[in-house]
């Protein structure tokens, strides 16, 4: 009796594993504008300025905090110490 239940459970687990989607992080919308963000930041623009620029020129609404996070994680060389 227990062998039958174990077999049923193992089959159910296999089905669940097949149906479960693997987690893949979403790609940021800011990747398209990475070069623009780097140029604006190097020109002295604040993250708020970049946010307003993206909203006005590229029609993308994003917070300055998200731009800060993106810039620090994707645009700055990790080995470089400020």
In a domain, 51, yes or no: yes
The C-alpha atoms of residue 60 and residue 63 are separated, in whole angstroms, by 10
The C-alpha atoms of residue 70 and residue 73 are separated, in whole angstroms, by 5
User: How many domains is the chain built from?
Assistant: 1
pLDDT of residue 34: 94
Query: Per-residue DSSP letters for 26-80?
Result: PPPGGGGGHHHHHHHHHTT--HHHHHHHIIIII-----HHHHHHHIIIIIS-TT-
Binned average pLDDT, 10 residues per bin, the chain of 82 residues: 70 77 77 95 96 96 95 81 50
In a domain, 10, yes or no: no
pTM passes above 0.75? no
In a domain, 40, yes or no: yes
In a domain, 46, yes or no: yes
Q: Which domain holds residue 76?
A: 29-82
């Amino acid at each position: 009796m227990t062998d039958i239940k174990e077999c049923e459970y193992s089959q159910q687990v296999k089905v669940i594993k097949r149906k479960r989607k693997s987690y893949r992080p979403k790609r940021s919308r800011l990747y398209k504008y990475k070069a623009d963000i780097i140029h604006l930041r190097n020109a002295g623009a604040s993250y708020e300025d970049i946010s307003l620029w993206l909203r006005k020129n590229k029609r993308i609404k994003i917070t300055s905090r998200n731009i800060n996070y993106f810039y620090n994680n994707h645009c700055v060389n990790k080995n470089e110490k400020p």
